[in-house]
Amino acid sequence: MTDIYTAVGVQSNAYDCKYRIEDKPDYSRNLRHLSHMIDVAVLHSMEYPVRLIALAEGAIQGFPDEYHDWDPVAYARSGAIDIPGPETEALSEKAVKWNAYLIGQAKARMPEFPDRFFNTAFILDPQGRVIHRHHKNVVFTLEHTTTPHDIFDEWVKMFGDGLDAFFPVAKTPIGNIGANICMEGNFPEMARGLALNGAEIIYRPSSAENKVSLGIWEVQNRARAIDNNCYVIAPNTGYIFMDDDQTQGFMTGGRSMIVDYRGQVLHINHQSGDAFVGAPVSIDALRQHRTQATHMNWTPHLKTEVLQLIYRKAIWPKNLARNEAPKRRDAMREIFDQTVRKLTSDGVFTERGGGQDGSAA
């Protein structure tokens, strides 16, 4: 039996601290702020013991590499962190203090791939140890992160081509936990990959405006939960301060939420700045539903042989960064445009003004 516990999602403001690429960023301000936010969120979530704490994307570092279009090699050397490292050590104190698992996100290096950084989710156990990493599989064109798909052949050679290589799941006493970071949550397949690897809780940080105010963020989080009968813990980022003058650069729209395995929102917070969500998690109830329910229990009905037909043709090119540095904003946009042109020529998309057979009207 797994006792009911409280999961907490921390929605925190983030500061880009030093915003010149030649500076070594100081993340201590964000870490001090996170320390206070975690304590407040846990102390106010008193219904059941808090066993899981989830942080938003950008909570440690902000997003300076994306919004300033920094050179990715320079950022890998100066701004990316190591996991484990000083930043995760600071957060491990909170995991130990509250006897909880803590999930966070950071742009981090991997020793196997010098001069690159990966958008990485990590889990700390209640002893403060790093027990899990997930590397973001899909990124927006603004983001300079290397993905496993960008170095696909090398990645498979090192880590294999099974679900664990791309959709790793941490098996813990409080449930099986996987991650969909921001952009990944736009794709049902990313959550399905985790679910078919055993995930019962999906960590999904964060999303930008205007997806939040349009309701897309909530629709996606609820759909990923009900599609896979998983809890979705989705802490969004608070306000982002882009410079040392603390100019309020943008907001993500807030609305952090926790969704249960039947797609029901357990807690949503409509604030845009510092906030938190907390809700009870019953892994035993989820497991009973998965093994006994015949309705709203979709995984047993999957017709995988049919579904494989959808992905026979490649769409986004793999190995884009195999022998060169990750591409910057303009180059990524050109790859996007090339992919759209290919989808159009293949008949997947129809050009504006085209007839029913795809020809010009």
**What are the tens digits of pLDDT across the range 187-211?**
999 999 999 999 999 999 999 888 9
pLDDT of residue 302: 94
197/322 same-domain check: no
Q: Using CA atoms, how far apart are residues 91 and 143, in angstroms rounded to an integer? A: 25
281/331 same-domain check: no
174/321 same-domain check: no
> Is 360 a member of any domain?
no
123/272 same-domain check: yes
Position 244 pLDDT exceeds 80: no
| Chain-centroid distance, C-alpha 118 | 12
258/333 same-domain check: no
Q: Which residue has the higher pLDDT, 162 or 65?
A: 162
Asked whether the beta carbons of 201 and 175 are under 8 A apart, the reply is yes
Q: What is the pLDDT of residues 304-352, one digit of tens each?
A: 999 999 998 899 889 987 777 667 778 888 888 898 998 899 888 898 8
How far is CA 208 from each of CA 27, 56, 219, 237, rounded to the nearest angstrom? Answer: 22, 12, 14, 8
Q: What is the average per-residue pLDDT within 278-295?
A: 97
Q: Which domain holds residue 11?
A: 5-302
| Summary mean pLDDT of the chain | 92
127/43 same-domain check: yes
Q: What is the pLDDT of residues 117-159, one digit of tens each?
A: 999 999 999 999 999 999 999 998 788 899 999 999 999 999 9
Reduce the DSSP state of residue 3 to 3 states and report it: coil
Position 32 pLDDT exceeds 90: yes
